[in-house]
Amino acid sequence: MLSLTFWSRGAAIASVTIIAVCGFLVVDDELHARRARAELQDFWLPAREMDHALLDAELEAGDAIAAFLDAPSERGHQAAQRSVAQIQQALDSARLPEGSPELLPQAMAARHRARSWLTDNASIIAIASPSRAHLASLASEQALARATQQHLAELDSGAAEVRQSLRRTTSVLRITVVIQTLLLILLVALLMLGLRFRVLAPLLRLRSDLERSSRQMAHAIRPTGPPEISAVAHDAEALRRSLMVAHDTSDHAMQALAQSSPLTIAVRSQLDRHDQDVPGVIGYHRPAEGVIAGDWWWAGEDGQGARMLALADVSGHGVPAGMLALESRTLVMAALKRGDSPERICTELASGSFLPGMFLTLFIAVLRDGSLEYCSAGHQDAALVSTRSSSALAATGPIISPLGGSWQLARLRMAGDSVLIAATDGLLELAPQSSFPPFAQRAWNRSGQQPAECLELLIARARERSSQWTDDVTVVIAH
């Protein structure tokens, strides 16, 4: 099957060829028509008008001279003189033709004969007497008129030929324009059909296969259309196969993990468990190693309709961090359900037992009636974001560790278009130069103020910064 490149080049060459050939023919016909019109206007019509005027004057002079010869009289002599003067006047007032040097002598032949005749005979008529013998030489005037008539007929024939040529040229010009228009219409129709069947139809088939394979990974993506589109389909099929291999590998790993480590799966399920969905609160949780993470988040509602959420980041990775995460999550969730204040919860957590070197950051927030109450135990990545501004929620106490500490509760008003976004440090760990509030605001604006889309953008933008995750990642959005 011909490639789109070859097909497009062929269409372009055909278009240029049609336009060039038809344009050359149109220009040539137009130039020929202009030359014919100029020759007709500048040469043949003036020559005919001049010969017509000479012929009329010569015939009138011939009649007047003949009448004078038949019945000589003073009145007839004056009429003959006036008719001869009209020939001279016709010569003086005639518009001289213009044209090629080869045609001009032919056009001027009648004029030259008339001028010669006047030179030879005008003085004779001026002094003419009633004697016929004295005017016998004037009989040559009849031959002059006949020559002018013959010359006029030749000019009429030449003008007719030029008119016929002009009509043929005009017809050819019209036919050329019509043919060019039809060819261009045909070419446009072929381009539209080619675009539809050679480009759009293969793209629609490819799109259908991609949509189906996104739902059914086993569905193969068929090569279709010209080589360029077929190459895209081949690459998409290679990507589908690699995703299937990765999916199968992940599935086998999860099955092996489930069979060999049920306790690990149970811990992970407890960290991901929520009693109910909380309106306006969504979150994301991803461990950096295996299936157990040191991060966790939780959201719930109290009896008065206030929404509560908590987000924690335990130091380290793996099973020790997961066990501390499970223990702290259980304590915080139970305390919030009892109605304990966030600062008291931080104090109770700090009084518990920790393995050497273990600690955690904790962010607890309560949203009710357009206000935000929060307690941040060393948690850095939390901000109030709107379309126009973003502000970080400063820590209200130290991290939770065996060293203890004191924590306070902060209260803020939330504008109608603001949203609370909190994350663990794994989200921006690969880009320490980035500040969390502007990063979150850009994602919020790009998402069109859609929380789910904003959450995906935050994860995607952070993932683009590295070839792999290096820390647990948890993100919570409340609006």
- The owner of tokens 């919570």 is 476
What is the rounded CA–CA span in Å between residue 162 and residue 42? Answer: 12
Q: What is the pLDDT of residue 366?
A: 93
Q: What is the pLDDT of residue 89?
A: 76
Note the pLDDT tens digit of each residue in 359-391. 999 999 999 888 899 999 988 889 999 988 889
In order of start, what are the domains of the chain with their CATH numbers? 4-186 (1.20.120.1730), 261-478 (3.60.40.10)
Q: What is the pLDDT of residue 137?
A: 47
Note if the pTM is more than 0.75: no
User: What pLDDT band is residue 134 in, cutting at 50, 70 and 90?
Assistant: very low
Tell me which of 103-107, 309-313, 344-348, 441-445 is least confident.
103-107
What average pLDDT is seen over the chain? 78
User: What pLDDT band is residue 291 in, cutting at 50, 70 and 90?
Assistant: low
- The owner of tokens 């030449």 is 158
Note the pLDDT tens digit of each residue in 35-62. 777 777 777 677 777 777 777 777 777 7
More confident residue, 42 or 334: 334
Q: What is the pLDDT of residue 248?
A: 67
What is the rounded CA–CA span in Å between residue 411 and residue 362? Answer: 17
Residues in the chain: 479
Tell me which of 166-175, 194-203, 265-274, 432-441 is least confident.
265-274
Does residue 194 carry a pLDDT above 70? Answer: yes
